[in-house]
């Protein structure tokens, strides 16, 4: 191999990779167009091969160091992605980045929401049409408590609020991550969990409605549910984004599509966790509190839902005005 000729032939590729990396480092991965993302991946592989070849033929310490630095930068961007390095970056993400991601991916969240609502509607229909249907979905001890004792089950939380709150948080996180992880198997598990939970909530809601306990039931659900349920729906959207990267990469190759849609899903996850944390505190300490009037619980739930909608729909135009 003639070293100088090889360097002259390969140098434009090194410069092109450096240019794309500087663009990402300055403006983020979104600044690249789809062909440039594909080009970045190909350049990384070819420059990695150039580094190995340079080491084999001992072309010079400086050139090897430059190629090593170039491939390290490329690896960091392709496989590790952007990293938030300070509290200002975290604040910026939660102030603007998360709402922007919610708006860009709203179609997937809408599909997740409709899947849940479909399950609830089917449950409502069958529960009124066939009294035996409830027993297929709702635990028997809960049915007995509502039908026979004419009571709700939330009183068990009183006196053990810290333990109940932490348990609720863990359970909600577990459900959310299962919904997200379901995207790996083409989104089938994601849709199933959403549908089944809709079926369960719809059956329970019908059960309490049939026994004249709907008002206190929804007074309990609404304060924390105004955050918890949207978080679950956003989890479903994240799972469906992963499924899209697997099934419908579109103009990207599958590997790049998974990186792009996976990054959007990750941003949704970072925003979902605080919502579930707050919802868990409310469900453990506020929602079951008998000293709080039911009417106030409805008001708090409504206000929280309105605030969440306003937060998630904040626009870039508003950002510029602020």
Domain that holds residue 284: 91-321
Domain count, the chain: 2
CA dihedral 99, 103, 105, 108 (to 10 degrees): 110
Q: Which residue has the higher pLDDT, 286 or 170?
A: 286
The verdict on 277 and 165 lying in the same domain is yes
Alpha carbon distance 273, 283 (integer Å): 15
Do the Cβ atoms of 233 and 219 come closer than 8 Å? no
pLDDT in tens, 145-181: 888 888 887 766 666 666 667 777 788 888 888 999 9
* End-to-end Cα separation, the chain, in angstroms: 60
Reported as a pLDDT band with limits 50, 70 and 90, residue 239 is very high
Residues 105-138 as b or e (16 or more Cβ within 10 Å = b): beebbebbbebbbbbbebbbebbeeeeebbeebb
Rg (CA), the chain: 26
The verdict on 107 and 30 lying in the same domain is no
The per-residue pLDDT of the chain, averaged, comes to 85
The verdict on 99 and 59 lying in the same domain is no
The verdict on 253 and 277 lying in the same domain is yes
pLDDT in tens, 219-228: 999 999 999 9
Does the pLDDT value for residue 321 go beyond 60?
A: no
Alpha carbon distance 284, 288 (integer Å): 7
User: Where a domain ends, among 58, 83, 108?
Assistant: 83
Mean pLDDT is highest, among 21-35, 53-67, 112-126, for: 112-126
Q: What does the pLDDT read at residue 1? A: 53
């Amino acid at each position: 191999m003639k070293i100088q000729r090889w360097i002259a032939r390969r140098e434009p590729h090194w410069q092109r990779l450096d240019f794309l990396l500087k663009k990402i480092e300055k403006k983020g991965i979104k600044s690249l167009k789809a062909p440039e993302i594909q080009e970045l991946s190909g350049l990384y592989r070819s420059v990695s091969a150039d580094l190995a070849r340079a080491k084999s033929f001992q072309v010079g310490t400086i050139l090897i160091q430059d190629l090593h630095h170039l491939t390290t930068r490329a690896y960091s961007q392709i496989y590790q992605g952007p990293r938030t390095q300070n509290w200002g970056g975290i604040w910026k993400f939660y102030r603007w980045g998360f709402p922007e991601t919610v708006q860009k991916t709203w179609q997937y969240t809408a599909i997740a929401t409709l899947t849940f609502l479909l399950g609830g509607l089917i449950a409502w229909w069958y529960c009124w049409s066939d009294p035996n249907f409830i027993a297929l979905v709702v635990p028997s001890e809960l049915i007995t408590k509502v039908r026979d004792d004419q009571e709700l089950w939330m009183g068990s939380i009183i006196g053990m609020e810290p333990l109940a709150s932490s348990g609720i948080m863990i359970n909600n996180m577990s459900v959310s991550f299962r919904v997200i992880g379901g995207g790996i198997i083409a989104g089938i598990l994601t849709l199933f969990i959403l549908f089944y939970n809709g079926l369960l909530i719809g059956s329970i809601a019908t059960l309490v409605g049939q026994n004249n306990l709907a008002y206190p039931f929804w007074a309990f659900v609404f304060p924390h549910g105004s955050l918890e349920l949207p978080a679950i729906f956003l989890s479903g959207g994240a799972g469906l984004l992963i499924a899209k990267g697997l099934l419908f990469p579109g103009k990207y190759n599958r590997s790049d599509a998974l990186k792009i849609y996976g990054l959007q899903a990750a941003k949704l996850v970072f925003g979902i966790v605080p919502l579930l944390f707050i919802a868990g505190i409310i469900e453990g300490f506020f929602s079951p509190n008998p000293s709080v009037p039911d009417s106030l619980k409805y008001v708090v739930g409504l206000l929280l839902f309105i605030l969440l909608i306003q937060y998630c729909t904040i626009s870039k135009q508003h950002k510029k005005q602020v």
